[in-house]
Amino acid sequence: QSALTQPASVSGSPGQSITISCTGTNSDVGAYNYVSWYQQHPGKAPNLIIYDVSNRPSGVSNRFSGSRSGNTASLTISRLQAEDEADYYCSSYTTTRLVFGGGTKLTVL
């Protein structure tokens, strides 16, 4: 099964905004409103930060936002903080299964 395509790494300075892309196909990202994003700190389990393309679960900071254009979904983190340094994964539903992106390491400079 093909993973969704994410950049291996992104970086930004505190206070700046960054965007992580997640490219799929018209069978997954482009077909369903079921893109999710997860944050994972080293040695910890992942944490849901965006679901259904652009919705935030209760308790997640509004500095995190999601969007989609065609077959590419995006996660934007505004007003970067040191605690945002982590790995980020996108996932999408595609006909009876889920597929994850390869993950993006965010470094806060």
Partner 1 sequence: QVQLVESGGGVVQPGRSLRLSCAASGFTFSNYGMHWVRQAPGKGLEWVAVTSYDGSNKYYGESVKGRFTISRDNSKNTLFLQMNSLRAEDTAVYYCAKGFGGSSGWVAIDHWGQGILVTVSS
> Could you list the residues that contact partner 1 (CB under 8 A)?
1, 3, 32, 34, 36, 38, 40, 45-48, 51-52, 57, 87, 89, 91, 93, 96-103
Q: Is residue 97 exposed (0-12), middle (13-18) or buried (19+ Cβ within 10 Å)?
A: exposed
Q: Which is nearer to partner 1, 64 or 89 (CB)?
A: 89
Q: Which is nearer to partner 1, 14 or 102 (CB)?
A: 102
For the CB of residue 13, give the shortest distance to partner 1 in the complex, in Å.
26
Q: Which is nearer to partner 1, 76 or 93 (CB)?
A: 93
Q: Which is nearer to partner 1, 70 or 102 (CB)?
A: 102
100 beta partners: 91
User: What are the E-state strand segments in the chain?
Assistant: 9-12, 18-23, 35-40, 47-50, 64-69, 72-77, 86-94, 97-100, 104-108
Whole-number Å distance between alpha carbons of 56 and 73 = 15
For the CB of residue 19, give the shortest distance to partner 1 in the complex, in Å.
19
For the CB of residue 16, give the shortest distance to partner 1 in the complex, in Å.
25
CB atoms within 10 A of CB 79: 12
